[in-house]
Amino acid sequence: MKKALIFLTSLISILFLLSFLVLKKDYQVITTRFDKDLTKIYPKDCFIRFENKNFLTTNRWVYQWNILSKRITPHSESILVEKFNLFEHSYSTEEKKFAFLYLKEEDNTIKYKGKLYKIDYKSGDSIFSKINDDEIIIFINSKNLD
C-alpha cells in the first residue's frame, strides 16, 4: 500500500512538472490608468500610448513558466524592477495573489484571475482590454520579457 502511494505521488508530481513544460506561458500583464496630470510627474518610459492617450503603467507583472518572476512599477524618476525567485524571495501579501498565472483566452475574452476581460484590440502578441475609459489591461504573450 505504501509503495503504491509513493508511486502515485511521484507520478502526479512528474505529470505536474511536465504540464509546466508543455503549457509554458511567458506573459506580461500590464495594468494602466490615464490621468493627464501624471505626465508631468513620471518619465516617458512609464507610459503606454493607446487611443491617443498616455496611460501610466501602474503594474507590470512578468511571468515565466506561469510563475511571477518580476514586478515593474513606475516611480517619479524611473521604474522599479523587483525580481522574484519562488524559493529565495518571498512575496508580499499583494504579490502572493499574482504569484501564479491563471490566464485563458476564450473567443473574444480573456479570463484572468477569475475575471473576464473583453478583447478590444490585438496587435501582434499584445491584447488590449479596456476596463473603463481611464483604465486598460494589456496581456503580452512574449518570449522576450525584458
Compute the distance between CA of residue 33 and CA of residue 54 in angstroms, rounded to an integer: 9
Name residues whose C-beta falls within 8 Å of residue 62's C-beta, 6 or more positions apart in sequence. Answer: 27, 28, 68, 69, 70, 71, 72, 145
Compute the distance between CA of residue 122 and CA of residue 22 in angstroms, rounded to an integer: 25
Compute the distance between CA of residue 33 and CA of residue 57 in angstroms, rounded to an integer: 7
The domain locations on the chain are: 24-141
Record the pTM: 0.77
pLDDT tens figures, 62-108:
988 888 888 899 988 888 888 887 676 677 777 777 888 888 888 89
pLDDT tens figures, 33-54:
999 888 888 888 889 999 999 9
